[in-house]
Amino acid sequence: MGWFPCSGPSKQTSKKKNSVDSGRHSTDKLKSKNSLRSKEVDKDAGSNQIAAKTFIFRDLAAATKNFRGDFLLGEGGFGRVYKGVIESNQVVAIKQLDRNGLQGNREFLVEVLMLSLLHHPNLVNLIGYCADGDQRLLVYEYMPLGSLEDHLHDPTPGKERLDWNTRMKIAAGAAKGLEYLHSASPPVIYRDLKCSNILLGEGYHAKLSDFGLAKLGPVGDNTHVSTRVMGTYGYCAPEYAMTGQLTLKSDVYSFGVVLLEIITGRKAIESSKTGGDFNLVIWARPLFKDRRKFSQMADPMLQGHYPVRGMYQALAVAAMCVQEQPNMRPVIADVVTALTYLASQKFDHETRGGIQTSRPGPATSPRMKRW
């Protein structure tokens, strides 16, 4: 869940990013500019009000038994996440930011603001926050199935691997969360889409989390926003990494990387024993050009239990999302349409005898626009 400049290797830095004052200035600017209204925003949530509850540090320490080790859910460059129980016996996830870590006061304030104003079934729910002295904590709804990364790349022994239907459901859910952000007014660029930031609830319901790097997107005649290049190595769009020019299509590229991970089971970046890094997009691009090699890209853990046509269509969506030229990538709304269709096509390998061996006909999923 941590982040670092995405123009270089995945090395973390302990440099503090911003002062409290700069964070407050940024948040005030966001409040004044951003109504963040959309059809699916909670109608009871005022667009200029922080709806999240304020906690004191003592109560959150009690909720986690003083941040006991067996309550730890995970950790990263930002700090640690603990499972806790607050009043009314509500189970929550509590993120305690490392005071010397990667997420500074500005990112803390941005995340509180964003998740207080943005409400959607595919965004994690922020219950409250704590800014007690120098302590910075965020309290979220508890997601019992952990992150997509846990299931794809770090499964515990004996854990059942994700089947094809579940993978498409997760992909469609994550895309819907991103579509909601992009359709806000003004649009919101997530900027840190990756497997570890996609959390899973009951029934593998996907929700996006960690909004500290989110930025307001371009409005009016502006085509991009210029910003310091931040994100996670392997997921950053190439034009953003090189120029710092951020657009909605930057998120679409990151989503394409995640979709490739979902299909292949491989990480976006892997260290090679022979030196250098394995880059998932670079590996996949030549394979996209030859449909006869598509089966080589399927996660071996699927054991051949996937619909050939559906897998081809999912790979086609991923290939469009990771195009080098941003104007060649689809808008996220069209990605949602395609993946919702694929998620609705339930595959039963027992009744259909495994994967189809005949050459699939033309794709029947909705066509996607690239503008």
The beta-carbon contacts of 11-14 under 8 Å, at least 24 apart in sequence, are: 12/77, 12/102, 13/102, 14/100, 14/101, 14/102
Pick the closest to residue 214 from 140, 286, 291, 118 (CA basis).
Answer: 118
Q: Within a 10 A sphere around the Cβ of 275, how many other Cβ atoms?
A: 6
Element containing residue 200 per DSSP (H, E): strand 198-200
Distance, CA of 102 to CA of 192 (rounded, Å): 14
Please state, in angstroms and rounded to a whole number, the distance separating the CA atoms of residues 51 and 355: 49
Alpha carbon dihedral 66, 69, 73, 77, in 10-degree steps, equals 90
Distance CA 188, CA 278 (A): 31
Q: Which residues make Cβ contacts (< 8 Å) with residue 216, sequence separation at least 6?
A: 30, 33, 34, 186, 187, 188, 189, 225
Longest CA pairwise span in the chain (Å): 65
Residue 183 has a CB neighbour count (10 Å cut-off) of 17
The region that residue 135 occupies, defined by phi over 0 for left and psi between -120 and 50 for alpha, beta otherwise, is beta
Active-site residue 192, yes or no?
yes
Cα–chain center distance at 68:
28
The annotation status of 95 as a binding-site residue, yes or no, is: yes
Encoding tokens for residue 369? 């626009």
* Torsion from C-alpha of 367, 328, 294, 280, nearest 10 degrees: -140
- Catalytic pick among 28, 150, 192, 334: 192
**How remote is the C-alpha of 217 from its chain's centroid?**
17
Task: In whole angstroms, give the CA distance from residue 286 to residue 261.
Answer: 16
Instruction: Annotate 331-369 with DSSP letters as a single string.
Output: PHHHHHHHHHHHHHS---HHHHTSS--SPP-S--SPP--
User: What distance in Å separates the CA atoms of residue 301 and residue 161, rounded to the nearest whole number?
Assistant: 7
* Catalytic residue annotation: 192
**Binding site for ATP: which residues?**
95
**Binding site: which residues?**
95
